[in-house]
Amino acid sequence: MAENQLEIGKLVAENDLYHELLGGRFGIEIEEHRVTEEGRLSRRVYPDTLGPRATHPYLQTDYSETQSEIVTEPATSFEMARDLLLQLQWVLRDHMAENETIWPLSMPPRLTPDDLQWVDETFDRPWISEYRDWLTDKYGSTHEIITGLHLNYSLPESLLEKLFALSDETDYVTYKNRVYFKLAQAISANRWLFVYLFGATPFSLNSTDSRLPELEHPVRSLRTSQFGFANDANIQINYATNLADHLDQIDQHIQAGDLYSNHEFYGTVRFKGPETKEAMVTEGVHYLELRILDADPFDPAGISENALNIIHLVIIYLLLQDEVYSADDLVHADELANEIAMQSPTDKLPNQKEAMALMGEVSKLADHFGMRFNDGLSLIAERILTPSKTPAAKIVALAKTPDELQAWATKVGNERGDLFHVKHDEQFEDLFGRGELASVIKQAYELGVRVKERTRDTVTLSVGEHVEVLHESKDLTELFPEILPA
């Protein structure tokens, strides 16, 4: 049997394990800029009313002080993860200044020389300043404040255990790593589909990013193209063989001085788990981080529930396929993904027939799960058949030039900011519910206390090994004094 040939689809079908496929753990990470009502990067420092960024599990910042990074707790579905994301976004907004809004695009707003100087000189996370300096020298500030959305996904452990028991494998961790690597390989080989369906970066609003070309026309996804968040052409890291070899490739580029660390690997999928490659191989992958999505400016969360549902279904479909991709196959797949990223947003897919055939198979798979994915399937079929329905094409229909896009995005941000202030309490109840525990969760998110589990009557909180189960409201600064500054 070939190294990556696992016959997962066959084992699932023969043993009717389809229901098991829906489980797992799901998370969302998104970066969003705080901007002024004029659509300029905010000069306000990071809110000191939120817990310290060095330890906060949910609310942090990235390269720029304005570049908020929001990370959800692992959830039991992508829909639940999106609900958690909306809660965290509400808390962030609640601690922003009255005249600040959230920039809805992945490409940063128009930057003046003063803005860039401020970004370069203002940074309050000294523990990663060396890495930041490396990125500044290599990529430049305009490039590094491009934002995006990552999805975290782990397979159900019960499914992996059953598949292992049905296989001829003798070591569970080795088998699990092979399954995760196979899935990452398939996602990488089909990156073109994600780029087409969800690409939403048709322009750059700045000429100060030397890595971006001058465009003759708007494109589908500048950010996910070879000019966007991608490693230099001399950094060749593929998904062709196995996990250990993939991690070795990253390590070799680190040792050669091409990459600062594994955090600088901008591939389609990152393997997440133990920090070192040796531990990852011997202890096993914990989850995959998918890094191929632009923020959707038409959705307040940055991604819709329908999009998340269809992504989940496509991931399941790719897991069940027994196709093995060679290094050449993956090179061609990268070339196709880049071609599609740089297409005009209203151009049809160059492989539209292949896309429709793939979605036909995905639709058949969805029959095993009832009505769960129907809305998402309709959305995807519509976008494949009608390119004008894709996010990038919808953006260009509203804003045909970078200047128009700057104005439109500023308007969208202000409208959402105004709605937040008008519907402040109503939005809170919609997202957090009513009662004492709603305010407990809000305070936990503010301070950086982890919300491990919530039921109707209880909430389980933790800071490190310190765990508390609450049935009523209590001041978390008294329960968790260790989170307060010394």
- How far is residue 53's CA from residue 124's CA, in Å, rounded to a whole number? 10
- How far is residue 82's CA from residue 301's CA, in Å, rounded to a whole number? 7
**Is residue 167 a part of any domain in this protein?**
yes
pLDDT tens digits for range 16-55 = 999 999 999 999 999 999 999 999 999 998 999 999 999 9
pLDDT tens digits for range 30-40 = 999 999 999 99
pLDDT of residue 384: 95
Same structural domain for residues 361 and 465?
Answer: no
Task: Report the mean per-residue pLDDT for the chain.
Answer: 95
Last residue of a domain, one of 363, 392, 407: 407
pLDDT of residue 1: 38
Same structural domain for residues 390 and 471?
Answer: no
**Is residue 356 a part of any domain in this protein?**
yes
Last residue of a domain, one of 392, 407, 422: 407
Same structural domain for residues 350 and 448?
Answer: no
Domains held by the chain: number: 2
Phi, psi (rounded to 5 degrees) for 60: -140, -170
CATH number for position 150: 3.30.590.20
Residue type, 154: S
2, pLDDT greater than 70: no
Give the bridge partners for 100, in sequence order: 36
Same structural domain for residues 462 and 371?
Answer: no
Same structural domain for residues 38 and 161?
Answer: yes
Q: What stretches of 56-184 adopt beta strand conformation (E)? A: 59-61, 67-71, 100-102, 149-154
Q: Determine how many CB atoms are found less than 10 A away from the CB of residue 353.
A: 9
pLDDT of residue 394: 98
Last residue of a domain, one of 391, 407, 423: 407
pLDDT tens digits for range 164-194 = 999 999 999 999 999 999 999 999 999 999 9
pLDDT tens digits for range 437-479 = 999 999 999 999 999 999 989 999 999 999 999 999 999 999 9
CA angle 148, 153, 154 (to 5 degrees): 160
Global pTM reads 0.96
pLDDT of residue 379: 87
Same structural domain for residues 62 and 163?
Answer: yes
Same structural domain for residues 129 and 17?
Answer: yes
Mean pLDDT of 119-139: 95
Mean pLDDT of 419-428: 97
CATH number for position 476: 3.30.920
Same structural domain for residues 459 and 335?
Answer: no
Cβ-contact 70, 95 below 8 angstroms? no
354, pLDDT greater than 50: yes
Percent of the chain residues past pLDDT 90, beyond the cut? 93
Mean pLDDT of 296-325: 95
Domain around 478: 436-485
